[in-house]
Structure formats: C-alpha cells, structure tokens
Amino acid sequence: MSRRNKLLKFTENLTLPNVYESFTYGSDVLRGAGGAEVVMTGNWKTGHFNNEHPLTLELACGRGEYCLGLAARYPERNFLGVDIKGARIWRGAVNAIDQNLDNVAFLRTKIESLDKFFEPGEISSIWITFPDPFLKDAKINRRLTSPNFLNMYKKLLPEDHSIHLKTDSPEFYIHTKEMIQQEGHELLVDSPNIYDGNLPHPDLDILTFYERMHLKDKRIIKYVEFRLK
C-alpha cells in the first residue's frame, strides 16, 4: 500500500462514526468522528452502542475480521476492535458500515494504553487473535499475555470472565501457558491444534486474513482460553 493511500485512510478514519483514536503513547485524549475530543471511559455501551449489552474486545484486531464475524453472529452483544494500525482499522470500520453492523466499533490505540479508556469491569471478554509474537528476548514484555498486560486485563474484566487466544506461534502459545501457570491463573481450554478433531470453541471457525495465509502455509493454529485470578 502506498504512503498516499495510507494517509487518505488515516484522514478518513476521522470522519467514520465507528472509529475512535488515541495514537499518541501516554495520552488519554480520545477523538471520535470529526476529530472531536470525546470521553468514552465508562460510556462505551450507552455513549456509542446505545444499549447495555456486554462488551467484547478484540486485541490486535488487524482488519477486524473477528469483530465483524462475532458481531454478525451475536447481535445481542457489542464488540470493539483495538489496533494501532490506522489503515487496517479503516478497512474493518468500512466493512462494518457496509454490512450494517451497528454493534461493532474500533479503537485505534496502543494496547499498552488500554486501561486509560475503560472503567474497571467494563469489558466482558477479550479475544487476542494472531498478535505479533515478539520473538526476540528483548521484546518479551510486549507479548500480549505477559504479566504487565495480564494485570491490566484483570482490572478491566469482571471476575471469572475469559480471555481467548488464537495464534499460529508455538513460542507465543508456550509463553502464554507459562504465564498462566506462573501468575496463578486458571487454564480452561488448551488446544495445540484446533483443527485436530472438533473445534474446542464454536467461534474458532471465524477466519482472519492472517489465518487464511497461515493455513495455506500449513501452519498449526493453537487456542487457549483462560480466566484471571
């Protein structure tokens, strides 16, 4: 994608009614349609979705395929895709509008800043779909299931609500299970190959752009569901 096309999409993101942005690290300023400053902390359900339905986050959402698939499947729930890549957010947001999916929106921000935009317990569940595994040792703390992230999720999720991880990375999969054990959390489902027999979760049949690529490369898709304690 050319730089010019990316810049056009970044500009159009500011006009879309289902996109919120705060891409300056450390800032708690959030902007909605038209670039207007908005306060959504504690207000996502009533302020954007106009209902009290439970809210699910998809972290590292990319083009938002999982959000869109879940939103179409569960109209009685709300979904919010989170990613820092503006062009990918644009694609997901435009697809949501084209598909008349009013129960899905997108937040462009660094996931490290997530707790600035939600009240404790405001999120009902989290999906982490094919995140960057950050394989270099120097970047291990940037993995989305490292203790610093798990501690943040624990503040945002009500007690006994689940986190779902779908990945093709053996290193990330092993790391996640090690963190669950090390931090004293509860492993609910552990599948080293989701396509070896029946799917361990009914929503694993939703395929993202990246999963289709991984399957073509004969990579093995792994899944973990766990509960924070």
Question: Each residue of 124-154: pLDDT tens digit?
Answer: 999 999 999 999 988 999 999 999 999 999 9
CA angle 168, 141, 106 (to 5 degrees): 65
DSSP 118: -
* pLDDT recorded at residue 2: 52
* Confidence band of 120 (pLDDT split at 50, 70, 90): very high
Point out the least confidently predicted range of 12-16, 167-171, 179-183, 208-212.
12-16
The band of 101, judged by pLDDT with boundaries at 50, 70 and 90, is very high
Average pLDDT estimate for 153-171: 95
Is 132 catalytic? The answer is yes
Q: Report the C-alpha gap between 224 and 109 in whole angstroms.
A: 25
pLDDT tens-digit series, residues 202-225: 999 999 888 988 889 999 999 999
Amino acid 64: pLDDT? 94
- Could you tell me if 177 and 222 are in contact, meaning their C-beta atoms sit under 8 angstroms apart? no
List Cα–Cα distances, 158 to 119, 126, 128, 170, in angstroms. 11, 11, 17, 29
Using CA atoms, how far apart are residues 229 and 221, in angstroms rounded to an integer? 26
Q: How many CB atoms lie within 10 A of CB 216?
A: 8
pLDDT tens, residue by residue, 7-58: 677 777 778 999 999 977 777 899 997 788 999 999 999 999 999 999 999 9
Residue 174 is predicted with a pLDDT of 97
Domains of the chain (ranges plus CATH)?
A: 3-227 (3.40.50.150)
Q: Which amino acid appears at position 98 of this protein?
A: D
User: DSSP E strands: which ranges in 60-180?
Assistant: 78-83, 104-109, 125-129, 162-167
For the chain, the average pLDDT equals 92
Report pLDDT for 3: 54
- Distance CA(152)–CA(110), nearest Å, equals 13
Check 28, 102, 115, 132 and give the catalytic one: 132
